[in-house]
Amino acid sequence: MVMASLEQAANLYPIPPGLAIDYGTAGFRAEASTLPSTVFRTGVLAALRSRQTGAVTGLVITASHNPEGDNGIKVADPNGGMLLRDWEAAATALANAPTSEALAEAVQQLAVREGIPAQAPSGTVLLARDTRPSGPALAHAATQGIAAVGATVEDRGVLTTPQLHWMVRATNRAEAATEQDYFRTLAAGFRELLLLAGAGRPPLAPLLVDGANGVGAAKVERLGALLADTGLAFRVRNSGQPGEGRLNAGCGADFVQKEQAPPAGVTLDELRAGRGASLDGDADRVVFYHCDEEGGFKLLDGDKIAVLAAGFVNEQLQALGDEGRRWRVGVVQTAYANGAATDYLRNGLQLEVARTATGVKYLHEVAVQFDVGIYFEANGHGTVLLSAALLEWLHQQSKLEGAPERHTAVRRLLALAGTVNQAVGDALSGLLLVEAVLASRRWSTADWDALYTDLPSRQLKVTVHDRSVITTSHAETRAVTPAGLQDAIDACVAGVSQGRAFVRPSGTENVVRVYAEAAMREQAASLANEVARIVHRLAGGLGTSP
Ligand SMILES: CC(=O)N[C@H]1[C@@H](OP(=O)(O)O)O[C@H](CO)[C@@H](O)[C@@H]1O
Ligand SMILES: [Mg+2]
């Protein structure tokens, strides 16, 4: 590596005064104008990771559900998953190195620590961005960073986050890895699942899709066009076209899930006729909703998707008898999972449920330990992963003669692995997964919703002077600091029927998140309010108390 050229290139991207940025829940995120140096340096890091592993890595420029003026950057590891956690600290160190000399030094240290030989292959990074106006300039900064350490960049243009992750995984497996291949793979899996649903199934109902005015809108249109002959009809709202609203403003998966309300441009009346779904700003999350019998808005969140997927997988494995039952199925959730969902998975479906900290990188790590690992955050970010051993066994089984039900189960599981992105959570996969399972089961949205009843819950955000004063333990369900915070929360929860509440600093926004659930809606809301006031009082709240 030629450090002089790195230093020279880095001089064009000086770090803004006072910058302190952290590789958080899902990469770096901040107001876009503060990001060029961070993005340049993350380009350097992704190139080094590629060089170290001898495989391509990926970079996506996006701030997902954040407002349009923010942006960010995430690294895709060679397996298509999130950046190895060991490397996150290096990403933070590189981003915060105060001068270009300090950056070169940090790069040297990383090269030594990770044993990256000077003569290693130069490295290749696949690059993509979402639709934010700040994207092209930041993509240029990333390109410069990648080039500064002699690696090659392949700019794939505007893509969803999961598309880029899928491409990284496919490239490193020497599989076809263009965007067209991505669409073809998902579509082929979906067609197979529909075929196996049998001739008697009702036609697919049209689905309203809220594209959050982001990258997912155009991609979902393309997917829909490819599958039009199956009867799948996406009616896209918040498409980001001129005249529509702004990215994530009053729409998108995060808004709908947190507010438990329909997105802009979708009325309850329309939902009476069919279900809707909302993607987030980079299309790695999806939540569904419908209008219930009382005429109210009902959310079907990531927990509901996990339950639907888990039940379907479970049923296929059961159909394979003792041999099927020897494969371990596990569902991974975070503390935000509704208590009723966890209960249904454990006691209704008799499945193993694991719990991790927030952020799909943690869920994914645990999910890969199962033969079928199903993970979804309540906000709709997740996927279904099938192990290599299970896939190989299924391929063998698919070649054998056997009872038709057995054969169907094998083919369904294989089709699932194509439909559902095996690299990361993917909203487009989520749409197809839900539609295919509902069609297979001949279920309406109401049938799906009726599997279990969510405990009422409420989420709030509190702005504090420094959110890092809150530290947590037990998968973020207990506050360790500041002193007295957890005791005060415990005291509030104590009197509430089926009450549960926790707080944690967000890793993507400058807020503290409050979660509360309880047997009754009003109790969940007042518990959340009370806890928010405690946070404001004990953790340095800004402005007036909530
Ligand atoms: C409560 C919640 O939804 N938190 C989200 C949010 O993280 P925070 O660290 O809570 O800001 O964004 C993450 C990235 O999309 C996602 O993984 C996570 O689940
Ligand atoms: Mg996202």
Nearest CA to ligand 1 atom 3: 379
- Annotated active-site positions, please? 64
Cis status of the peptide bond prior to 505, with omega within 30 of 0: no
Statement to judge: residues 201 and 148 lie in one domain: no
Cβ neighbours around 268 below 10 Å, total: 14
Residue 504 lies in a domain: yes
Q: Looking at residue 348, what DSSP letter applies?
A: I
Burial class (CB in 10 A: 0-12, 13-18, 19+), 155: middle
Residue 120 CB-half CA count within 13 A? 22
Give the residue whose CA is nearest to atom 18 of ligand 1. 359
Residues 342 and 491 in one domain: no
Residue 24 alpha carbon, nearest atom of ligand 1: 9
> In whole angstroms, what is the distance from residue 55 CA to residue 168 CA?
9
205 and 274 Cβ atoms separated by less than 8 Å: yes
Q: Is the CB of 64 under 6 A from ligand 1?
A: yes
Ligand 2 center–CA 63 separation, angstroms: 7
List of residues 6+ apart from 527 with CB closer than 8 A:
458, 492, 493, 496, 499, 501, 516, 517, 518
CA pair distance 77, 300, nearest whole angstrom: 31
Same domain membership, residue 484 and residue 428: no
CA of 358 to the centre of ligand 1 (A): 6
Counting from 1 in the atom list of ligand 1, the atom nearest the Cα of 334 is 19
In a domain, 165, yes or no: no
For the CA of 257, the closest atom of ligand 1 is 3
Tell which of 158, 193, 219 closes a domain. Answer: 158
Q: Of 404, 424, 453, which marks where a domain is finished?
A: 453
Q: What CATH number is associated with residue 37?
A: 3.40.120.10
Mutate-to-test residue for ligand 1 from 278, 467, 508, highest number of ligand atoms within 8 A of CB: 508
Determine, yes or no, domain membership for 93.
yes
As a whole number of angstroms, the distance between CA 11 and CA 372 comes to 48
Task: Indicate whether 462 and 339 sit together in one domain.
Answer: no
Q: What are phi and psi of 163, to 5 degrees?
A: -60, -45
Residue 278 assigned ligand-binding role: no
Question: CATH code at 503?
Answer: 3.30.310.50
Compute, in angstroms, the gap from residue 539 CA to the centroid of ligand 1: 20
Is 148 a member of any domain?
yes
- 531 shares a domain with 474: yes
Residue 282 CB–ligand 1 contact under 6 Å: no
User: Is 504 close to ligand 1, i.e. is its CB under 6 Å away?
Assistant: no
Do 273 and 245 share a structural domain?
yes
Residue 1 is predicted with a pLDDT of 57
Residue 307 lies in a domain: yes
In this structure, is residue 169 part of a structural domain?
no
- Does 506 count as an annotated binding residue? yes
CB of 71 shorter than 6 A to ligand 1: no
- pLDDT tens-place string over residues 323-358: 999 999 999 999 999 999 999 999 999 999 999 999
Shared domain check, 324 and 244: yes
Closest C-alpha residue for ligand 1 atom 4: 358
d(CA 132, CA 129): 8
Nearest-ligand number for the alpha carbon of 508: 1
**Domain, as residue range, for 141:** 3-158
Indicate whether residue 278 lines ligand 1 (CB < 6 A).
Answer: no
Q: Report the C-alpha gap between 321 and 2 in whole angstroms.
A: 60
Please tell me whether residues 296 and 439 are part of one structural domain.
yes
CA distance 33 to 320: 55
User: Would you say the CB of residue 507 lies under 6 angstroms from ligand 1?
Assistant: yes
Residues 384 and 473 in one domain: no
Cα distances from 277 to residues 128, 289, 301, in angstroms, run: 24, 6, 10
Q: Is residue 478 part of a domain?
A: yes
Which protein residue has the closest C-alpha to ligand 1 atom 2?
379
Best residue among 332, 379, 477 to mutate for probing ligand 1's pocket (most ligand atoms within 8 Å of CB) is 379
In this prediction, residue 508 carries a pLDDT of: 81
| pLDDT on residue 87 | 96
Q: Residue 170 Cα, ligand 2 centroid: separation in angstroms? A: 21
Residue ranges for the chain with pLDDT beneath 70: 1-2
Ligand 1, closest atom to CA 507? Answer: 9
Domain count, the chain: 3
195 and 59 fall within a common domain: no
The last residue of one of the domains, among 453, 470, 489, is 453
* 316 plus 442 within the same structural domain: yes
Does the annotation place 379 within a ligand binding site? yes
497 in a structural domain: yes
Rounded distance from Cα 429 to ligand 1 centre (Å):
20
Q: Are 267 and 392 in the same domain?
A: yes
Q: Is the CB of 336 under 6 A from ligand 1?
A: yes
Cα of 400 to ligand 1 centre, how many Å?
Answer: 44
Q: Which residue has the least CA distance to atom 6 on ligand 1?
A: 508
